[in-house]
Each structure stands twice: as C-alpha cells, then as structure tokens.
Amino acid sequence: MKPDFTRQLLLWNKRDNKRPMPWKGEKNPYKIWLSEIILQQTRVEQGRAYYEKFVKAFPTVQQLARAQEKKVFKMWEGLGYYTRCKNLLASARKIATELHGKFPSTYEEIKKLKGVGPYTAAAISSFAFNEPQAVVDGNVQRILSRYFGISTPVDSTDGKKLYQSLAQALLDSKQPGKYNQAIMDFGAVICKPRNPLCTTCIQHKECEAFKYNLVNQLPVKEKARPRKNRWLCYFIIELQDKVYIRKRTGKDIWENLHEFVLFEMTEKPNGPFPFAPVLKKLLGKQPYRLKMVSKEFRQQLTHQSVYGQFITIRINKPAPLLKDYMLVEKKHLSRYAFPRVINNFLKEPAQTSLF
C-alpha cells in the first residue's frame, strides 16, 4: 500500500479543487440522495439544472412523495433512464409513509431504498452522516487502476472485490465525506478517461500507469455488451383535434413515458416503409388520409441505437382496435412526458412529407 495516496488527494482537494456544484457540502440526506440519483448515468453539466428544478419544486421528501407521478415524470423528461425516476418516487413514498418522513441514516438502511446501490448509499451515508463508507464507481476504479497499476478487469467478480477493498482501505475514516467528494472530483477533473492531466497531477510521481506509460491501457474491462439497433415506426393518428397516445409499460426502455401508436420493425426497411399493411392491422377497414411521413430520427442509448419515423394520418371516427391508447388533444401533448426521439420530432419546425 502506498501511504501517500490519501494525503496527496486531500491536499489537492484543499489546495486546487475548485469544481463548483450546488450540492457540494450539502448535509441534508434528501438533497444528497436527489443529486446522486439524478447524476446516475448523467453528466454533471446536464444534471445540475434538473437538481435545482427538483429542489425548487419539491424542497422536502414529503413533498416529492405527494407529487403526481405524471408531473414528476414530465420534470424528469430528457434525463433518460426513467427507471431512476420511478424508483425515486417509490423511495420517497416509502420514506414518507413507512419511515414517517425520516430519511434512513445508515449505509445498510439507505441501501434498502429502491434504486440505491452500494455507491449511492456510500455517498449519502458519508456526506450526510459521516459514516466511513468508500464510494466506488468507474471514476474511482480508473484512478486506483492507474495509480496502483492494476490490470484485473474492473467488471470481473475479482476486480469488483479488489477495488472495493482497496477503496475502503484508502478512505480517511475521520473525514469520509470530504475524501469521497475529493476522489470523485479528482476523477472528473484530473484522472479523466481521455486526456488525463498526468504531467500536472499531484499523484504522478507514484502513479504506476504514468511511470510505465500504461495510462491509456488502464483500467481493463473484460465484457463488452453488444450494441443493437431498433427501428420504431410511430403512427400519429389524428381524430379532429386529438391524437392517440399511450403510456409505455413493462421492463423495456422508456417505461412510464408516453408514445404514439407504435409498430416496431425487426430490421430497417429496404426502401420506403410499407405502412399500408400495418395500418390495415391497426385500423381494419376504417378509411384514413395520409398527411405526412417524416424523416428518420435517431436516439443513442447506452447499448442501443433507436431509429424512429413518424407517419401522420387522419381518421373521421374513433378506431376501436386502438383500445389500449387514449385520445388527447394535440394542444395538451406538452403535458405528457415523451422519449427524446419523439420530442425531437415534435420540435421540428417544419415536418415536410417525404412524398
């Protein structure tokens, strides 16, 4: 064990760490929890505005617990990974009812909240309650892998145990919150995934990766999830001044968000989308008038590329085969939370037909 790592990290934090964040130094566990959930899979630059918006709308966990689901999901719109929002609401309601409004105060109790894993529980318990629990995420693994020259894959069973044990051993138990914030900031500002600031890094004299020119080779990952493509055709079916939409359910992407009438293809069509036979399945013999076929829109998710195309048609009477959808006024669509690929289509100033 290199004894200087912790001391040097805290020295850098005191002397050079100027990274500003609205939740830094926060002791309220509710606000810390809110910031940590928002920052899961989200860049700080994007998450900051959402954090401030949520704190203003719901200053306490009780107010969040009482909020309408529709309102909370609409506020979350654009952040992605909507299971986080679902779990946020579920945990807020648990705290407000089962725990009588009192936020759990230990690592093990915090970890029982829906959507809270070891990293988030360690952050909350150390920041709010000074509990000596080390945070371990991709940033921390990268720093430790480079500094100690560890080639054990971070996503392996052995690797996860190794990095957790090492992070806990390095933790300053007297000021765990300050240490955890420092190492998180260090990974974001200095020991970055690409173009780390090695030559000016306070740790570089003892860093194995810097010494042996391994910075770009560490950390090591053993698993690479295959990326898949999905092709979604959305039918915007208009009836007078209303359109059909539904809330997505199940465990797929965008759970609890809304969408237009969907037909998902197994592969990208070779040529123009053959919408006529699909509409026959959706509408039966009911007549319709084609208004517009959009260009293709794309949304990049972590392990998926989603392509969406929108076909607008008009009908003259309700469609009985669309019983799982609801009719809403077009002017009220902004009240509903949609995936980004749909919002990008709705924001298009001119939706010109391809014909």
Q: The domain spanning residue 267 has which CATH number?
A: 3.90.79.10
Q: How far apart are CA 57 and CA 49, in angstroms?
A: 12
**Residues 251 and 327 placed together within one structural domain of the fold:** yes
Average pLDDT score, the chain: 91
Name the DSSP class of 141.
H
Q: How far apart are CA 206 and CA 212, in angstroms?
A: 11
Task: Compare 267 and 48 and report the one with higher pLDDT.
Answer: 48
The total number of structural domains in the chain stands at: 2
Instruction: Out of 36, 77, 131, 259, pick the active-site residue.
Output: 36
Mean pLDDT to the nearest integer, 4-25: 91
Mean pLDDT to the nearest integer, 275-289: 88
Using the 3D structure, point to which of 168, 197, 217 is the last residue of a domain.
217
Q: Tell me the pLDDT band of 58, cut-offs 50, 70 and 90.
A: very high
- pLDDT at 355 exceeding the cut of 50: no
Using the 3D structure, point to which of 166, 195, 217 is the last residue of a domain.
217
**Residues 166 and 259 placed together within one structural domain of the fold:** no
Residue 289 pairs in a beta bridge with 314
Other Cβ atoms closer than 10 A to 52: 12
**Residues 199 and 234 placed together within one structural domain of the fold:** no
Q: How far apart are CA 232 and CA 250, in angstroms?
A: 17
Query: Does a structural domain hold residue 355?
Result: no
pTM across the whole model: 0.78
Instruction: Tell me what pLDDT residue 203 has.
Output: 96
**Residues 259 and 157 placed together within one structural domain of the fold:** no
**Residues 41 and 97 placed together within one structural domain of the fold:** yes
Residues 6+ apart with CB under 8 A from 67: 57, 58, 89
**Residues 233 and 199 placed together within one structural domain of the fold:** no
Contact at 8 Å (CB) between 142 and 219?
yes
Contact at 8 Å (CB) between 163 and 171?
no
**Host domain of residue 309:** 228-347
Using the 3D structure, point to which of 184, 217, 250 is the last residue of a domain.
217
Helix (H, G, I), strand (E, B) or coil at 140: helix
The alpha carbon of residue 290 and the mean position of all alpha carbons in its chain are separated, in whole angstroms, by: 37
- pLDDT at 204 exceeding the cut of 60: yes
Name the DSSP class of 179.
H
- pLDDT at 200 exceeding the cut of 90: yes
Instruction: Tell me what pLDDT residue 3 has.
Output: 57
Pairing of strands 228-239, 261-265: antiparallel
Query: Does a structural domain hold residue 352?
Result: no
- pLDDT at 22 exceeding the cut of 90: no
Query: Does a structural domain hold residue 353?
Result: no
Query: Does a structural domain hold residue 222?
Result: no
Other Cβ atoms closer than 10 A to 152: 15
Contact at 8 Å (CB) between 60 and 69?
no
**Residues 169 and 249 placed together within one structural domain of the fold:** no
Q: Reply yes or no on whether 222 is catalytic.
A: no
